[in-house]
Amino acid sequence: MNTTYNVRVYKTEVRRNKDGKVTSYRVLWQTDGKTWKKPFPKEAQADAYRSSLVMAARDGEAFSLSTGEPVSWKRAKNAEMSWYDFACKFVDMKWKASSATYRQDIARALTAATPAMFSSGQGKPTDKELRHALKRWAFNTKQREEAAGDVATALRWLAANTKPVSALADTETVRSLLDTATTRLDGKRAATSTVLRNKTILQNALDYAVELKLLTGNPIKGLKWKRPQASYEVDRRSVVNHAQARALLAAVAAQEPSGKRLAAFFAVMYYAGLRPEEAVNLHTYNVALPPLVENRETGQMEEPPDGWGELSFAEAAPFAGREWTDDGALREVRSLKHRPDGHTRTVPCLPELTRILRAHLVEFGDGPGRRLFYGVRGGELPTITYRRAWAAAREKALTPAEAASPLAKRVYDLRHACVSTWLNAGVPAPQVAEWAGHSVDVLLRIYAKCIVGQDEAARRRISDALRET
């Protein structure tokens, strides 16, 4: 049963900030024991809403267990639900099952699209204020109810000044929505990855509108829209050779105060192909190093001459920001990219990396929670710290021309260099794909331009075949 007549409406709650100033008025009520809360910026609005709930309960109306409101209200709202209300509802529907980073993607896409659905310009806040209110507050399930001040003012304007979802039945309106969502603030088309991501999110949103019976069909699917050509290949110019990589790692190690501990962090990406969010989440129990051997001449314990180890891990921790994670952490610990929960990836740790990691462990030891890499003060390794260190290393280790080029411009390019090295060394593609955490198809598509020497070998085989005939 999806409705109930067991309803209790409570006294309106007045919410204040630390200075004692009223920030909102919150109506509280229960349906079949479940508590509902709805904030309003003004007392009169809260009183009117509360009175409507009381009247509906007294008149014996059925209340929905999914919305908390009278069933008759839902029918009326669905008939002409505004774009703003619908977008917030879509965000709330997706929130629980989405990763923190995907929550941000949804917020960005809806924020970019929403100006196409403005119904009025009267009393409109600035574009910057509206973008901030939408992305950080309206389209964030955790934050929305806490909006206050100028943000709350912007959200009230949005709630009153967006077109109904039914307006998207018009082809020109839906085309404007899609064009706005895929255009940058300067009027140019957004990057291909942004265009494709925002279009997919909008299409999913309008599928949900069909599910809610706000639209009879998804209008985006009927548009004649030219899909941009997406390039998934690694730019060969960004891939460093071994001499350049070693110079960069040395330049990192020379930095104070955190360079020495960061050198091993970057080395894990260059020698083992880890993504930054995988490397930052490595723990000492993810590292298996070969035992030291005794030098018979000196009696000292040394690295074995062919000392291969292993890195084995099942989680990554992409940076998201406190307002997007469920626990308020800066990073969200989750399963490996494109892998089910609990899937473990094992990567070989070649002798050079073995020596680097052993020296790192001797000097720095375990961090909090047995973390392998951590900040100078003992906390989580900040993203800004390693990005700044990498930028400084590029300026020091590369020539001015190289530093101005795409060569190792991103920390992620170290992973590209590693995977390219494996492929060019002749390691079979299925094995490289397993180590890198890719499918073979994706691996070869991404690294097609980084596999050198194959064109020459192919020409040689063709010439040999022709000579034999």
pLDDT for 306 equals 84
Is 259 within 8 Å of 392 (Cβ atoms)?
Answer: no
Q: How confident is the model at residue 42 (pLDDT cuts 50, 70, 90)?
A: confident
Is the sign of the CA dihedral 435, 437, 439, 445 positive or negative?
negative
Three-state DSSP string of the chain: CCEECCEEECCCEEEECCCCCEEEEEEEEEECCEEEEEEECCHHHHHHHHHHHHHHHHCCCCEECCCCCEHHHHHHHHHCCEHHHHHHHHHHHHHCCCCHHHHHHHHHHHHHHHHHHECCCCCCCCHHHHHHHHHHHHCCCCCHHHCCHHHHHHHHHHHHCECEHHHHHCHHHHHHHHHHHCECCCCCECCHHHHHHHHHHHHHHHHHHHHCCCCCCCHHHHCCCCCCCCCCCCCHHHCCCHHHHHHHHHHHHCCCCCHHHHHHHHHHHHHHCCCHHHHCCCEHHHEECCCCEECCCCCCEECCCCCCEEEEECEECCECCCCCCCCCCCECCEECCCCCCCCCEEEEECHHHHHHHHHHHHHHCCCHHHECCCCCCCCCCCHHHHHHHHHHHHHHHCCHHHHHCCCCCCCCHHHHHHHHHHHHCCCCHHHHHHHHCCCHHHHHHHCHHHCCCHHHHHHHHHHHHHHHC
60-80 mean pLDDT: 78
Among 16, 22, 11, smallest CA distance to 50 is for 11
- 363 has a pLDDT exceeding 80: yes
Neighbours of 240 (CB within 10 A): 23
Place of tokens 């912007």: 154
23-49 mean pLDDT: 90
Question: CA angle 169-210-221, nearest 5°?
Answer: 60
pLDDT for 267 equals 98
pLDDT for 175 equals 94
pLDDT for 444 equals 83
Distance of CA 79 to the CA centre of its chain: 34
Q: How confident is the model at residue 391 (pLDDT cuts 50, 70, 90)?
A: very high
pLDDT for 1 equals 53
State pLDDT tens for residues 232-271: 678 888 999 999 999 999 999 999 988 999 999 999 999 9
274-298 mean pLDDT: 93
End-to-end Cα spacing for the chain:
79
46 vs 311, higher pLDDT: 311
Query: Which residues lie below 8 Å from residue 423, measured CB to CB, with a gap of 6+?
Result: 429, 432, 447, 450, 451
- 413 has a pLDDT exceeding 70: yes
Distance of CA 344 to the CA centre of its chain: 21
State pLDDT tens for residues 160-199: 999 999 999 899 999 999 999 999 999 999 989 999 999 9
404-428 mean pLDDT: 93
Q: Lowest-pLDDT range, 212-226, 292-306, 368-382, 388-402? A: 292-306
CA distance 352 to 358: 10
Among 160, 94, 90, smallest CA distance to 123 is for 160
302-328 mean pLDDT: 92
Query: Which residues lie below 8 Å from residue 69, measured CB to CB, with a gap of 6+?
Result: 53, 63
Intervals of CATH 1.10.443 along the chain: 241-396
CA distance 237 to 409: 10
pTM, 2 dp: 0.75
State pLDDT tens for residues 323-340: 999 999 999 999 998 788
125 vs 213, higher pLDDT: 125
Distance of CA 221 to the CA centre of its chain: 26
Is the sign of the CA dihedral 369, 248, 384, 319 positive or negative?
negative
pLDDT for 376 equals 87
Q: How confident is the model at residue 468 (pLDDT cuts 50, 70, 90)?
A: low
pLDDT for 232 equals 64
pLDDT for 453 equals 47
- 461 has a pLDDT exceeding 90: no
22-34 mean pLDDT: 91
Is 423 within 8 Å of 454 (Cβ atoms)?
Answer: no
Structure tokens at 106: 């949804």
- 425 has a pLDDT exceeding 90: no
90-114 mean pLDDT: 97
pLDDT for 233 equals 76
Q: How confident is the model at residue 109 (pLDDT cuts 50, 70, 90)?
A: very high
Pick the CATH number of 241-396 from 2.60.40, 1.10.443, 3.40.50, 1.20.120: 1.10.443
pLDDT for 456 equals 54
Is the sign of the CA dihedral 163, 166, 171, 177 positive or negative?
positive
145-165 mean pLDDT: 93
* Exposure of 179 in the CB half-sphere (CA atoms within 13 A): 11
pLDDT for 234 equals 81
Query: Average pLDDT, whole number, for the chain?
Result: 90
